Amino acid sequence: MADLTPAQRVERLERHLHEHGHLDSDDVDAAVAAVESASGDAPSTALGARVVARAWVDADFRARLLADPMNAVAEYQPQGVPIAVLEDTPSVHHVIVCTLCSCYPGGLLGNPPAWYKSFEYRSRVVREPRAVLAEFGMEVEPDVELRVHDSTAEQRYLVLPVRPPGTESWSQEQLATLVTRNSMIGTGRPRTP
C-alpha cells in the first residue's frame, strides 16, 4: 500500500466500492463538479457575504442573527449543526479556528481554505493570534480585545465583521461584494470602497 500514490489508492477504493454496489462513479463526478461551481443558495463565500450584508442594512435581521442564528441563517440555508454568530465591534475582534481537526461553518461558507486546515494555523492562532493575523496583513490594535474561538464541539462560528466606513449609501447587493471569506473567519477585514 505504501508504494501507491494517493490517486492510485483512491482509484482502488472507488473500484471496490463500485464493485459491491456502494458507489456510482457518475454521482462522484457530478457531486465534485457541483461543489466546484457552487452558486446561488449553495454554501459558499458568496452566500455568507449575503447574510453579512443583510445584517449590515437590516437591523431586525441583525438582531435575529445574533439572538437566534440557527433560524436566521436557515432563511438562506438550513444548517445541520448549531451555529453562533460573533459580532465584531470597534473594540472587539473575533477569530475562529479548530485546533483538533478542521471544523468550519461549511453549511454556510462551503469548504474551508487549505490554510484554515494547516498545522501552522491550528497550532499558532490560539497562542499568538496577533502574529498570525499579521501574516494575513492584518493589524489588531493593542486596545482591541481579541477573542479566539476554538471550535471544539459541533457548534460552528461565523464572524460578523464591522461594516466598512464610507458605505452609508451602499445597497445590500453592493455591500455583499465587500465581504471576504477571511472577514467571516476573522483573519481579514471587509474590503473598503
Residue in 114, 166, 168, 169 binding another protein, rule: CB under 8 A = 114
Residue 129 binds another protein, judged by CB under 8 A: yes
Residue from 47, 46, 63 nearest 55 by CA? 63
Selected range binding another protein among 14-22, 53-61, 165-173, rule: CB under 8 A: 14-22
102 in active site: yes
The total of other beta-carbon atoms located within 10 Å of residue 51's CB is 24
> x/- string (CB under 8 A) for another protein, residues 45-84?
-------------------------x--------xxxx-x
Residue 155 binds another protein, judged by CB under 8 A: yes
Contact yes or no for 144/91 (Cβ under 8 A): yes
User: Which residue, 21 or 166, is less far from another protein as judged by CB?
Assistant: 21
User: Which residue, 64 or 117, is less far from another protein as judged by CB?
Assistant: 117
Cα–Cα distance for residue pair 9/22, rounded to 1 Å: 17
Maximal CA-CA distance, the chain? 61
Residue from 88, 99, 92 nearest 182 by CA? 88
Residue 132 binds another protein, judged by CB under 8 A: yes
User: Which residue, 51 or 170, is less far from another protein as judged by CB?
Assistant: 51
User: Which residue, 140 or 162, is less far from another protein as judged by CB?
Assistant: 140
Question: Grid coordinates representing 54?
Answer: 443583510
- Look at the chain and count its residues: 193
- For 108, half-sphere exposure in the C-beta direction (CA atoms, 13 angstrom radius) is 31
Residue 35 binds another protein, judged by CB under 8 A: yes
Active site residues: 98, 101-103
